[in-house]
Structure 1
Amino acid sequence: MPELTWVGKDKVITHHLDVPFRVLDRQYSFDEDGQHETDNGSNNMIIHGDNLEALKALLPKYEGKIDCIYIDPPYNTGEEQWVYNDSVNDPRIRKWLGEVVGKEGEDLSRHDKWLCMMYPRLRLLHRLLKQDGLIAVSIDDNELTNLGCIMDEIFGSMNRLACAPVRSEPSGGKGKKALRTGHEYLLFYSKGDQSALVKEEKSVGKLDLKDSRGPYRKGRELRKWGSKSDRGDRPSMWFEITAPDGTVVTPIKNDGTEGRWRWGLSNPVMQELLLDPEVAHWEQTSYDDGVVVEGETARWVPYEKIRDAKKAFGWNTWLDGYGTNADATTLIKSLFGSKEFDTPKPLSLVEWIVLLHENTNGIILDSFAGSGTTAHAVLKVNKEERSHRSFILVELGEYAESITAGRVKRVIDGYGEGKKRVEGTGGSFSFYELGAPLLVEGNLNHEVPLERVREYIWFTETGEAYRPEARQEHADYLGRSSNNTSFFFAFDGGALTVLDRVYLSSIPAGCEAESYVIYADTCLLTEQDLVKHNITFKKIPRDITRL
């Protein structure tokens, strides 16, 4: 396969491996109760800092787990008067190029600099993306060709799904050139598995029904949201729902046997259905294949109510009608009362991208967050679809708190005045700063809290959720993994730790497993002892995984 080369490529092609791992320091949380220091446990994150280091910080927990990535990187136009600096002449980028690329960096063209900046970031994004995930990148003519080449190299040319033009300036674009460009592009890639992607355009249908809240159309049938599974699989997800005529509805499979609902009784979707008659559309539906249940051939079935006639999703090779840059600017003005950000993306376009992945509980990542359009899109989709997607935003600019997070706060709470008031979506997030590096010159950094080190080691070893309560069993115990391996991290910043027979005798029965991984400063057990007890010894800090 042809490969793009540029000045400085040899210095950045593996640079993502050398980026230090930094912890993420939560600054505050925000939800419908406002801003507070208490951690609200939100899955939504806004991270302020260099996205290269932030992406590295996300790896332990999120490697291979991001469902959808959308980024709007600098277009490299050379203009520098914007709030978001759309060039690679930013002092921070120049400093980074000087440190990583060296003196060669002085002779780079602006295209070389852009490629040096983008390449390691795309390598980390590739690692974070799920095998059945989707990445979409906005770009214009300045770097379209170069971006396509490095995306082909990193994601594979066979995984390019589309290079879709987006009509961004209906008037024909700025400037007085003979050929004026009123469009940008979206490059779409997968990692090979496209099974979770929407593959065809779906008709939105007309809002041909009406209730006290206004027009709606009939959406998904509730019994198809999980009742194909047996009741015995999850007994707690079987319960009765009362139909409009007072009859009782339960999840019945097409063969007449008892099924279960997709969600439990405490789930917000089910709570709305039970408590609010305006949430579901009810009608009598025949059983399939002539099945008779308790003498009846039909039963009451709840359907979702869809109130947005404009929403469409699926592939379209020419993206026209998904909003323009002018629309995005108008929305920013309505959110902040003034033009606080010069290059936002249309909300409806990002909504469409989010909906291209079918996982309604998926994680959406935007590492060039800008004004926070991606978070806005996720919150809006969650409210309208009653889905549970989460977002992770990363923004380097100093406006990460005032504009990026500020927009998300307004979206959650609602914004505008009078008749133009927009109801809040609800939701939550936590705001983070990049913290200290985990390792300094190969040694553990004493500025990093021990609990963060323990969490890092657990994630890199298992890829599973960390459970702090494991320490109740043993001071060094990290937990037992799903493959029945117990992990211990014996570390004392003031003294050397030793893995010996005395240490083994301190391990309680509650930590027993088929095998063990024990981190310590040194090991006095013989090779025979390690084999006998199925122990893998790892030396601190030498054997701590470098991502």
Structure 2
Amino acid sequence: MPTLNWIGKDKIVNHHQEVPFKILEHKYGFTAEGGQIQAETDSGNKIIHGDNLEALKSLLPQYEGKIKCIYIDPPYNTGEEKWAYNDNVNNSKIRKWLGEVVGKAGEDLSRHDKWLCMIYPRLKLLHKLLADDGAIFISLDENEITNARMVCYEIFGEKNFIAQLVLLCNPKGRSQDKYFATNHEYCLVFSKTNLDRGAFNVKKSPEEISKNYKHKDEFGVYRLMELRNTHREFNRETRPNLFYPIYINPKTKETSLEKNDGFEVECYPLWNDGFEGCWTWGKDLAEKDNNLLVGKKQKSGWKVYRKSYAQLKGGPKAEKKLFTILNDSSFYTEKGQSSFGNIFPGLNKNDFPQPKSVDYVKELINTITTKDSIVLDSFAGSGTTAQAVLNLNYEDGGNRKFILIEMEDYANDITSERIKRVSKGYGEEKNAAPGTGGEFDFYELGMTLFDENQNLNEEVDIKKIREFIWYSETRTAFPVSRDNSESNFLLGEKDGTSYYFIYKPNELTTLDYDALNVIEKKSEQYIVYADNCLLPKEFMVKHNIIFKKIPRDITRF
């Protein structure tokens, strides 16, 4: 497969591994009912202020492989600098980062080189966070869409390319464009693994069902779909096993695979011009679900149809595939502007001139998530993604979680404030919107877990270190009931294994016979972290003890 090269790539291909792990420092919680609080809500909803590369790294212990949906709207790299979210990767923080990572070569980078250096390590970490059955959606325009697609082929795999969606975002078009009035943007969709057919199907709305399902029987409303395959490449020659007669009773319209009393009309899958096509069902299925087949007389003769129900009793609702061209008027950029303006009526609209439509982001999220999925946006901007999650939960009773990361200083005043207002309700009179409910926690990036010598940073709260060890071993939340005092070395027990972290700041610890007194209960296996180990190997094997050295054996993500 062809790969994309650019100046600085060799410096950043593995840079995600070098990013220091930083602790998330909780600043405040928020609930729709109680407002801002000091305690953590433990809701699972997070807004993180800080460099998104470092923030993504900090999420790995708890969330690696668990994010069902990632939506990002990174800088389009248009060269625009008029608004808060610098769109030409010329942000001072990005320039500083490029100088540190790429070195002197960074001085000669084109804006495309800079953008690729910026996005590559972030996509590498996003790939780690994405669940095997999840998907990433990346909003872009023509400036970087080609480069981004090539980079995603490299990171996610060409076989995991799902679609390049086209969003009609500005129906009037950009009149200032040089040749054609651009009225669209793109959205790249990639998965982590090969997903099942229909993985992105969405439920049909009540309006769609009412419009298209015109028939009704004791099982529910249904529509009639012609049983003959409507593609001529599928025909008697290419699918001979799908070419067979079906017999129709002209009085009852019932069907049979055998010609007998009453079933006298012989019907083949023929086109109006006599072309021999084929059925979409094989004989076995046609016989098994014969009750779903009906005959119908047309001008050209009799045809066979199948009943397609909107929802059978106890079964799933009818689904549909989204079109690759998304042209619903609720997806237009002006809708995003209007929604944002209603939430912040006094804010200068030029600060955020092109926020995404909430309905657009909600539609993307809805294609891949279940009601308890986690949604991540590492270029959070004004917080559209979190609002989309809250709106979707409000509509279908879901409990999806959102994680937002925003590096700019408006993370608290705009991103967080928007979610507060959406949760509690906002607007007046005709623009009034009811509160969705919900809660979240706001974090800043704190100290690094390891110091410059790769030893544990002794200034870090020991609770955070214990949480990190537990996450790295079990990929589960740290047991909240555990005593986090220094004297309690047990982290917890999972699947028959007990985990101990024998650590004391400014003091070396040793796993020896005396240290075994810290073991609180019998387990099938013990994993013990300490600075040194003096137990004989034979003893450790006999008692299923695994020693891990501090800091060498602490997982680096």
Cα distance change, pair 201–208 in 1 and its aligned pair in 2 (3 A)? closer
Counterpart pick for 1:524 among 521, 526, 534: 534
- Residue 457 of structure 1 is matched in structure 2 by 469
Secondary structure of 2:163's aligned partner = strand
Aligned partners of 1:486 and 1:513 also within 8 Å: yes
Offset at 1:199?
A: 4.1
Cα contact 1:197–1:358 (8 A) shared by 2: no
Is residue 49 of structure 1 aligned with residue 47 of structure 2? no
Partner amino acid for 1:475?
A: N
1:315 to partner: Cα distance: 2.1
Contact 1:202 1:314 in 2 (8 A): no
Amino acid at match of 1:421: A
Deviation at 1:355, TM superposition (A): 0.4
**1:538 to 2:548 alignment:** yes
CA distance in 2, matches of 1:419, 1:302: 39
**How does 1:439-450 map onto structure 2 within 5 Å?**
439-441=450-452, 442-450=454-462
Whole-Å separation in 2 of the counterparts to 1:302 and 1:412: 35
Aligned to 2:322: 315
Structure 1 unmatched ranges of 5 or more: 210-220, 222-300
User: Secondary structure of 1:391's partner?
Assistant: strand
CA distance in 2, matches of 1:459, 1:200: 33
Distance 1:487 1:144 in 2: 46
What amino acid sits opposite 1:408 in the alignment? I
> Do structure 1's residue 9 and structure 2's residue 18 form an aligned pair?
no
Cα–Cα, structure 1 residues 174 and 22, in superposed 2: closer, same or farther, change >3 Å?
Answer: farther
The secondary structure found in structure 2 opposite 1:383 is helix
> Partner of 1:440: helix, strand, or coil?
coil
Matched, 1:335 2:329: no
Quote how far apart the aligned CAs of 1:419 are: 2.9
Name 1:248's counterpart in structure 2: none
Tell me the amino acid that sits aligned with residue 47 of structure 1: I
Aligned residue number for residue 165 of structure 1:
166
In structure 2, the CA distance between the partners of 1:205 and 1:448, relative to structure 1 (3 Å rule), is same
DSSP-derived class of the 1:113 partner: helix
Query: Is 2:458–2:506's contact at 8 Å kept on the other side of the alignment?
Result: no
* Residues 1:141 and 1:495: Cα distance change in structure 2 (over 3 Å): same
Match of 1:525, SS? coil
How far apart, CA to CA, are the structure 1 residues paired with 2:209 and 2:508?
73
Q: Render the CA deviation track for 1:151-173: whole Å, top value 9, x for unaligned.
A: 01000111111011111110012
Partners of 1:522 and 1:2 in 2: CA distance: 48
Matches within 5 A, 1:178-189: 178-189=179-190
Which residue does the alignment assign to 2:106? 105
Correspondent of 1:379 among 390, 397, 418: 390
- Please give the alpha-carbon distance, in whole angstroms, between the structure 2 residues aligned to 1:165 and 1:95: 34
Larger Rg: 2
1:304-362: per-residue Cα shift (whole Å, max 9, x none)? Answer: 9x9xxxx9973211111141111111111111003252221011110101100141100
Give me the whole-angstrom Cα distance separating, in 2, the residues matched to 1:437 and 1:409: 30
**2:523, 2:198 → 1: CA distance?**
39
Supply the distance in 2 between the matched residues of 1:468 and 1:42 (Cα, whole angstroms).
14
Q: Matched residue pairs, number?
A: 451
- Partner Cα distance (2:371, 2:194) in 1: 18
Q: Distance in 2 between matches of 1:403 and 1:313?
A: 36
The Cα offsets for residues 505-524 of structure 1, whole Å up to 9 and x where unpaired, read as: 3323x2x2111111111111
Letter in 1 for 2:493: R
Please give the TM-score of this superposition, normalised by the length of structure 2. Answer: 0.77
Write the mapping of 1:293-304 to structure 2, written as runs, cut at 5 A. none
Q: For residue 46 of structure 1, report the CA deviation from its aligned partner.
A: 0.4
Following superposition, the deviation at residue 193 of structure 1 comes to 3.8
2-structure distance, mates of 1:6, 1:495: 48
Pick which of 485-494 and 168-177 moved more.
168-177
**Contact 2:68 / 2:369 at 8 angstroms: preserved in 1?**
no
Query: Residues 405 and 199 (structure 1 numbering): CA distance in 2 closer, same or farther, change over 3 Å?
Result: closer
- Equivalent pair of 2:489/2:518 in contact (CA under 8 Å): no
Aligned 8 A contact 1:13 1:120 in 2 = yes
CA gap of 1:430–1:200, structure 2 versus 1, over 3 A, is closer
Closer, same or farther in 2 for the Cα pair 1:378/1:200, shift >3 Å? closer
- 1:432 maps to 443
The residue aligned with 1:144 is: 145
Residue in 2 aligned with 1:225?
Answer: none
Task: Output the CA distance in 2 between the equivalents of 1:19 and 1:316.
Answer: 39
Counterpart-to-counterpart distance in 2, 1:326 and 1:472: 51
What is the CA-CA distance between 1:447 and the residue it aligns to?
2.0
| Farther off after superposition, 184-193 or 467-476 | 467-476
Mapped contact 2:202–2:366 kept (Cα < 8 A) = no
Measure the CA separation in 2 of the matches of 1:368 and 1:53. Answer: 13
Partner of 2:88: 87
User: Contact 1:77–1:87 at 8 Å: present in 2 too?
Assistant: yes
* 1:400 CA displacement: 0.5
Alignment-mate amino acid for residue 504 of structure 1: L
Q: Which residue in 2 is equivalent to 1:505?
A: 517
Query: 1 CA distance for matches of 2:388 and 2:333?
Result: 15
Which deviations, in whole Å up to 9, do the C-alpha atoms of 1:79-124 show, x marking residues without a partner? Answer: 1111111111111111101111111101111101100000000000
CA positional deviation for 1:197: 5.9
Match of 2:491 in 1: 478
8 Å contact from structure 2 (residues 201, 319) kept in 1:
no
Q: CA deviation at 1:468?
A: 3.9
Matched, 1:466 2:478: yes
SS in 2 for 1:93: helix
In structure 2, do the counterparts of structure 1 residues 196 and 82 end up closer, same or farther at CA, with 3 Å as the change threshold? Answer: farther
Matching of residues 33-432 of structure 1 within 5 Å: 33-195=34-196, 198-200=199-201, 202-206=203-207, 314-321=321-328, 322-337=330-345, 338=347, 339=349, 340-432=351-443
Q: How far, CA to CA, are the matches of 2:58 and 2:116 in structure 1?
A: 22
> In structure 2, how many angstroms separate the alpha carbons of the residues matched to 1:208 and 1:196?
22
Q: CA separation of 1:328/1:302 partners in 2, compared to 1, >3 Å: closer, same or farther?
A: same
Letter in 1 for 2:544: N
Counterpart-to-counterpart distance in 2, 1:302 and 1:34:
42
TM superposition score normalised by structure 1: 0.79
Any stretches of 5+ residues in structure 2 without a counterpart?
211-218, 220-311
Q: Give the root-mean-square deviation of aligned CA atoms.
A: 2.5
Alpha-carbon distance, 1:423 to partner? 0.6
Matching residue of 1:215: none
The alpha carbon displacement at 1:494 in A equals 2.9
Tell me which amino acid in the other structure corresponds to 1:167: L
Tell me how far 1:200 sits from its aligned partner.
4.1
Does the CA-based 8 Å contact 2:26-2:441 persist in structure 1?
yes
